[in-house]
């Protein structure tokens, strides 16, 4: 039986990060993954990630995946694909199906990084072709280049539902509406805002009650729910859609760990009991990433690396001093991601009313998915500066992210030590209108406003990630934060540059009094 | 996490509900009503329900319905899903053909 | 529908174009892409009909977990089409229960 210092199950962000750390510490590492390609779900993440530089913020997920694979290769990690781990046993042995044979391997340490599966909710017609997981839609369009449908109803307003809805639009698919049984948008306000301003409605306190069709989906019905989440008769609304996507949470895939006999607990699904480095109650068996508790890819990479370091230290490949250093660094990195409005301790809370700075959180953002015109002025990213071009940062919740601060070389933007702080725009600093902050914002919440364009006109520069790019001189309408037309607009320019990684800077000309209202551009005349 | 669910606890009689014909286990085509009925007939753990009705024994091995069945069980027992144990996990964790399963290599 | 122009992804790496059959009908797709992707691009929604209730099923998870998209591929039933690469000349059949239609 072949033996490895470290066996990693799952070649996603957590598994690969652990494997790289282990191999770089001198361990003989093997990674097993049931898929034909490594990277887990990272390669379908085409949006820019949040965090700080050390979390690879403002880098698109699939590029982080490419880097992980390159690092794994450089470190000498052996990755076995199409290798289905079917069993994990207490003596740190795994049973693997490879091609048409069953193999057994032994690891002196084992890391389980099997990730998560999508939750689903049953409703009438949910077995019809056309009803699918949001992740399925994402896989079809971002990995295989095939539209999952032509018009989608999204169920779930958490970050997955919001991010996938936006990516559907980017893939040329219409999104009819986003539905959530909860009374508040679940995901980041910035993710919701970039959908609402394109005109997509949110139906909160609503649930999907029916998918219609005989052979495949031809429509869907939603209804309002009462406080116990029961549909209220008479409140039904019908949508002409051919696809219903469900983004109603994820559950850890912990069957292998349960099989091994380690202690488990419930954290939104069964997870192993682990210490601060990811070691389970079975010495030498570790867990990292979503299988140990649902989070996202950035924290999976950190917990993976931490577990890899702990495994290396356990076997003597990494000295105690080096381990203490890596571990302190990883724990600090993780702590940064665990602060703010959406921190694990705030999960499920609906009573939050203030930001960490003591500013009232936007009620409208929670209820309708956009900031109201009346609320916008109270945030520190929005200055009252009326002379010359300047950034307007509509970032109103404490989310762990700070690339905008580094993007501005002229000191216009300050976030400070804690990366969950709201960005502050310094009205005194000289903005040159380079737009690097606009492109760096993973939440697409930064705009450049110039009220002095002349002739009573102002320009608004916005992040734009749709094709075709509008041409200079093109006329259309400016849409407000709520997606409704606010005025006529003309395209001044649409700038693209490699440094902005496919986020174009679209500048439109609008009447001066609309500069704080116009937030999107549409060439189609809206009804 | 597991608390013992006394099967003598009275959870009341099985009462039909309008959504009883919803498919819960997509692989084995088992409905919500069948599962609820089984609970009232005495199947009070995930493992018992799986053995009795086969949800989670189909091709996907409970990947989709596991959580839904647990939610139904918790509701019928008047408790939270978090205190209920999952079905016993054992290898092979993925469906595998017997021919392959018997093909031991790499000893 | 295939996505030809994408604002973020410059290209979708694909193999050569290959021919296969679905229930005897000639179809085209790209070598190495999942069978399910080729079928979805061709507008096919129904992969199988269930054993008990004869209900249609299609793509549901697209990553090989849910097994809803299984079909008969080259005579073998229960093949997960979302993770099985397409090859030239593949014979794909809609699955009824665990069988093809006579």
Residue B89 banded pLDDT, cuts 50, 70, 90: very high
CA dist C74 and C81 (Å) reads: 12
Contacts of A186 by beta carbon, 8 Å cutoff, 6+ apart: A156, A157, A158, A159, A161, A180
The answer to whether the CB atoms of C60 and A146 lie below 8 A apart is no
Q: According to the model, what pLDDT value does residue A208 have? A: 98
The answer to whether the CB atoms of B26 and A127 lie below 8 A apart is yes
Give chain A's length.
Answer: 527
CA dist A233 and A44 (Å) reads: 38
The answer to whether the CB atoms of B64 and C61 lie below 8 A apart is yes
CA dist A498 and A453 (Å) reads: 27
Buried b (16+ CB within 10 A) or exposed e, A216-250: bbebbbbbbbeeeeebeeeeeeebebbbbbbbbbb
CB neighbour class for C13 (10 Å; exposed up to 12, middle 13-18, buried from 19):
exposed
Dihedral sign for Cα atoms in the order A45, A30, B86, C67: positive
Residues A146 and A137 sit within 8 Å (Cβ to Cβ) = no
Do A83 and A130 fall into the same domain? no
Element (H, E) at C16: none
Interface of A to B at Cβ within 8 Å reads 1-2, 34, 84-88, 95, 97, 100-105, 117, 119-124, 126-127, 251, 253, 255-256, 258-259, 264-266, 269-270
Which residue in B23, B29, B60 is closest to C65 by CB distance?
B60
Q: According to the model, what pLDDT value does residue B3 have? A: 55
Which candidate, A150, A180, A308, A131, places its Cα nearest to that of A240? A150
Asked if the structure places residue B107 within a domain, the reply is: no
CB proximity C60 to B under 8 Å? yes
From chain A, the residues in CB contact with B61 under 8 A are: 255
> Which of A145, A211, A463, A468 best tests the C interface by mutation, with the highest count of C CBs <10 A?
A145
The answer to whether the CB atoms of A140 and C63 lie below 8 A apart is no
Which candidate, A231, A364, A342, places its Cα nearest to that of A295? A342
For Cα atoms A46, A293, A113, give the angle at the middle one, nearest 5 degrees.
Answer: 70
Residue A42 banded pLDDT, cuts 50, 70, 90: very high
Phi, psi at A244, each rounded to 5°: -120, 125
CA dist A7 and A23 (Å) reads: 11
Q: What is the CATH number of the domain that holds B61?
A: 1.10.10.1100
Work out how many domains chain A is built from and give that number: 3
DSSP string, C56-83: EE--SSSSSSS-TTEEEETTEEEEETTT
Asked if the structure places residue B106 within a domain, the reply is: no
Mean pLDDT of A92-107: 96
Q: Does the pLDDT of residue B6 top 60, yes or no?
A: yes
Q: Does the pLDDT of residue A61 top 80, yes or no?
A: yes
The answer to whether the CB atoms of B59 and C60 lie below 8 A apart is no
Asked if the structure places residue B35 within a domain, the reply is: yes
CA dist A138 and A167 (Å) reads: 8
Cα–Cα separations (whole angstroms), residue A396 to A53, A69, A428 = 21, 35, 21
Residues A222 and A207 sit within 8 Å (Cβ to Cβ) = yes
CB proximity B29 to C under 8 Å? yes
Buried b (16+ CB within 10 A) or exposed e, A494-524: bbbeeebbbbbbbbbbbbbebbbbbbbbbee
Beta strands in A20-92 (DSSP E): 29-32, 78-80, 83-89
Mean pLDDT of B60-78: 95
What are the residues facing A87 on neighbouring strands?
A95
Mean pLDDT of A466-470: 96
The answer to whether the CB atoms of B29 and C51 lie below 8 A apart is yes
Buried b (16+ CB within 10 A) or exposed e, B56-90: bbbbbbbbbbbbbbbbbbeebbeeebeebbbbebe
CA dist A468 and A290 (Å) reads: 37
CA dist A81 and C61 (Å) reads: 20
Residue B22 banded pLDDT, cuts 50, 70, 90: very high
Element (H, E) at A472: none
pLDDT, one tens digit per residue, over A115-130 is: 999 999 999 999 999 9
Phi, psi at B95, each rounded to 5°: -60, 135
**Chain A: residue whose CA lies nearest to B31:** A122
Q: According to the model, what pLDDT value does residue A327 have? A: 97
Cα–Cα separations (whole angstroms), residue A54 to A235, A300, A339, C62 = 48, 14, 16, 32
CA dist B54 and B61 (Å) reads: 10
> Which of B53, B60, B94, B95 best tests the C interface by mutation, with the highest count of C CBs <10 A?
B60
Place of tokens 């099967």: B7
CA dist B84 and A116 (Å) reads: 19
Do A452 and A466 fall into the same domain? yes
Residues A231 and A207 sit within 8 Å (Cβ to Cβ) = yes
CA dist B28 and A249 (Å) reads: 23
**Chain C: residue whose CA lies nearest to A143:** C12
CA dist B45 and A282 (Å) reads: 26
From chain C, the residues in CB contact with B63 under 8 A are: 61, 65-66
Low-confidence stretches of chain C (pLDDT beneath 70): 102
Q: According to the model, what pLDDT value does residue B106 have? A: 54
Asked if the structure places residue A14 within a domain, the reply is: yes
From chain A, the residues in CB contact with C37 under 8 A are: 140, 144-146
Residue A347 banded pLDDT, cuts 50, 70, 90: confident
Question: What predicted TM-score, i.e. pTM, was given to this entire model?
Answer: 0.96
Terminal Cα-to-Cα distance of chain B (whole angstroms): 37
Helix segments in A76-188, DSSP class H = 134-138, 159-170
Residue B9 banded pLDDT, cuts 50, 70, 90: confident
- Domain residue limits at B46: 3-101
Q: According to the model, what pLDDT value does residue A1 have? A: 86
CA dist A42 and A163 (Å) reads: 13
Do A381 and A507 fall into the same domain? yes
Which candidate, A371, A296, A364, places its Cα nearest to that of A334? A296
CB proximity B40 to C under 8 Å? no
Q: According to the model, what pLDDT value does residue A349 have? A: 84
Contacts of C88 by beta carbon, 8 Å cutoff, 6+ apart: C18, C19, C20, C31
CA dist A247 and A158 (Å) reads: 7
Q: According to the model, what pLDDT value does residue A524 have? A: 78
CA dist A292 and A264 (Å) reads: 10
Beta strands in A237-289 (DSSP E): 237-239, 243-246, 250-252, 264-266, 270-272, 285-287
Q: 3-state SS of A408-422?
A: CCCCCEECCCCCCCC
Question: Would you call the peptide bond into A468 cis, given omega within 30 degrees of 0 as the criterion?
Answer: yes
CATH of domain C17-96: 3.10.20.440
Which candidate, B39, B6, B33, B40, places its Cα nearest to that of B19? B33
Asked if the structure places residue A361 within a domain, the reply is: no
Do A416 and A439 fall into the same domain? yes
Work out how many domains chain B is built from and give that number: 1
Element (H, E) at A476: strand A475-479
Terminal Cα-to-Cα distance of chain C (whole angstroms): 30
Do A66 and A26 fall into the same domain? yes
Q: According to the model, what pLDDT value does residue A26 have? A: 98
Asked if the structure places residue A142 within a domain, the reply is: yes
**How many other C-beta atoms can be found within 10 angstroms of the C-beta atom of residue A130?**
27
Higher pLDDT, A107 or A388: A107
Q: What mean pLDDT, rounded, does chain A reach?
A: 96
- Domain residue limits at A226: 120-246
The answer to whether the CB atoms of B32 and A122 lie below 8 A apart is yes
Higher pLDDT, B10 or A41: A41
pLDDT, one tens digit per residue, over A182-232 is: 999 999 999 999 999 999 999 999 999 999 999 999 999 999 999 999 999
A:B CB pairs within 8 Å = 84
Residues A478 and A486 sit within 8 Å (Cβ to Cβ) = yes
Q: According to the model, what pLDDT value does residue A526 have? A: 46
- A248 token code pair: 């109603």
CA dist A202 and A178 (Å) reads: 5
Asked if the structure places residue A183 within a domain, the reply is: yes
Buried b (16+ CB within 10 A) or exposed e, A85-107: bbbbbeebbbbbbbeeebbbbeb
From chain B, the residues in CB contact with A259 under 8 A are: 89-91, 93
**Chain B: residue whose CA lies nearest to C54:** B29
CB proximity C23 to B under 8 Å? no
Mean pLDDT of A143-157: 98
Residue B1 banded pLDDT, cuts 50, 70, 90: very low
Element (H, E) at A491: strand A485-495
Q: Is the ipTM of this complex over 0.90?
A: yes
pLDDT, one tens digit per residue, over C66-86 is: 999 999 999 999 999 999 999
Asked if the structure places residue A431 within a domain, the reply is: yes
Report the percent of chain A where pLDDT is more than 90. Answer: 94
Asked if the structure places residue A345 within a domain, the reply is: no
Mean pLDDT of A279-304: 97
Helix segments in A80-238, DSSP class H = 134-138, 159-170, 189-196
Q: Does the pLDDT of residue A419 top 60, yes or no?
A: yes
Inter-residue long-range contacts of C39-43, CB under 8 Å, 24+ positions, other chains counted: C39/C81, C39/C92, C40/A140, C40/A146, C40/A147, C40/A148, C41/A146, C41/C1, C41/C2
């Amino acid at each position: 039986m072949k033996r490895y210092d470290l066996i990693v199950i799952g070649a996603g962000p957590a598994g690969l990060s652990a494997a790289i750390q282990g191999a770089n510490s001198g361990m003989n590492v093997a990674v097993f993954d049931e898929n034909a390609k490594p990277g887990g779900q990272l390669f379908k993440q085409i949006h820019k990630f949040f965090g700080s530089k050390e979390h690879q913020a403002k880098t698109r997920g699939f590029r982080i995946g490419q880097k992980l694979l390159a690092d794994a290769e450089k470190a000498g990690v052996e990755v076995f694909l199409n290798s289905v781990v079917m069993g994990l046993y207490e003596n740190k042995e795994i049973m693997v199906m490879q091609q048409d044979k069953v193999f057994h391997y032994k690891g002196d340490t084992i890391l389980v990084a099997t990730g998560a599966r999508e939750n689903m909710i049953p409703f009438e017609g949910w077995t019809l072709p056309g009803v699918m997981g949001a992740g399925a839609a994402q896989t079809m369009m971002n990995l295989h280049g095939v539209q999952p449908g032509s018009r989608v109803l999204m169920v779930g307003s958490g970050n997955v539902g919001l991010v996938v809805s936006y990516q559907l639009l980017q893939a040329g698919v219409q999104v009819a509406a986003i539905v959530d049984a909860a009374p508040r948008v679940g995901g980041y306000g910035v993710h919701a805002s970039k959908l609402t301003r394109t005109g997509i409605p949110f139906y909160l306190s609503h649930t999907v009650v029916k998918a219609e069709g005989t052979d495949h989906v031809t429509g869907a019905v939603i209804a309002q729910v009462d406080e116990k989440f029961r549909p209220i008769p008479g409140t039904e609304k019908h949508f002409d859609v051919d696809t219903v996507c469900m983004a109603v949470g994820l559950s850890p895939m912990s069957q292998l760990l349960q099989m091994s006999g380690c202690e488990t607990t419930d954290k939104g699904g069964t997870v192993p009991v682990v210490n601060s480095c990811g070691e389970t109650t079975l010495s030498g068996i570790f867990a990292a990433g979503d299988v140990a508790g649902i989070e996202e890819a950035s924290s999976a990479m950190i917990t993976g690396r931490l577990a890899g370091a702990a495994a290396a230290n356990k076997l003597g490949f990494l000295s105690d001093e080096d381990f203490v250093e890596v571990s302190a660094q990883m724990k600090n990195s993780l702590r940064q991601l665990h602060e703010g409005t959406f921190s694990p301790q705030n999960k499920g809370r609906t009573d939050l009313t203030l930001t960490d700075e003591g500013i009232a959180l936007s009620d409208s953002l929670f209820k309708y998915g956009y900031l109201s015109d009346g609320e916008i002025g109270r945030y520190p990213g929005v200055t009252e500066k009326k002379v010359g071009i300047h950034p307007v940062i509509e970032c109103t919740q404490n989310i762990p992210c700070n690339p905008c601060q580094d993007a501005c070389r002229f000191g216009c933007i300050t976030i400070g030590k804690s990366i969950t702080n709201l960005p502050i725009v310094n009205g005194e600093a000289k903005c040159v209108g380079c737009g690097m902050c606009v492109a760096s914002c993973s939440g697409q919440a930064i705009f450049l406003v110039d009220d002095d364009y002349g002739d009573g006109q102002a320009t608004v520069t916005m992040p734009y990630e749709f094709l075709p790019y509008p041409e200079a001189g093109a006329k259309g309408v400016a849409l407000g934060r709520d997606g409704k037309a606010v005025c006529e607009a003309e395209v001044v320019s649409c700038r693209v540059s490699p440094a902005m990684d496919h986020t174009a800077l679209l500048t439109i000309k609008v009447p001066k009094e609309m500069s704080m209202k116009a937030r999107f551009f549409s060439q189609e005349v809206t009804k | 996490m597991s608390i013992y669910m006394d099967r003598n606890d009275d959870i009341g009689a099985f009462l039909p509900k309008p959504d009883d014909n919803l498919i819960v286990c997509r692989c084995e085509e088992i409905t919500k009503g069948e599962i609820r009925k089984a609970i009232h007939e005495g199947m009070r753990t995930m493992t018992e329900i799986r053995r009795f009705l086969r949800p989670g024994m189909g091709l996907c091995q409970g990947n989709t319905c596991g959580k839904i069945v647990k939610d139904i069980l918790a509701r019928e027992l008047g408790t939270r899903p978090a205190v209920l144990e999952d079905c016993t996990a054992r290898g092979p964790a993925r469906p595998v053909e017997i021919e392959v399963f018997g093909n031991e290599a790499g000893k | 529908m295939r996505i030809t122009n994408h604002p973020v992804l410059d290209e979708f790496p694909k193999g050569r174009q290959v021919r296969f059959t679905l229930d005897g009908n000639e179809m085209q797709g790209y070598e190495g892409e999942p069978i399910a992707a080729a079928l979805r691009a061709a507008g096919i929604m129904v992969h199988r009909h269930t054993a008990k209730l004869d209900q249609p099923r299609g793509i549901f998870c697209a990553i090989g977990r849910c097994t809803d998209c299984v079909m008969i591929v080259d005579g073998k039933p229960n093949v997960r089409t979302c993770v099985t690469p397409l090859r030239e000349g593949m014979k794909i059949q809609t699955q009824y229960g665990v069988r093809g239609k006579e």
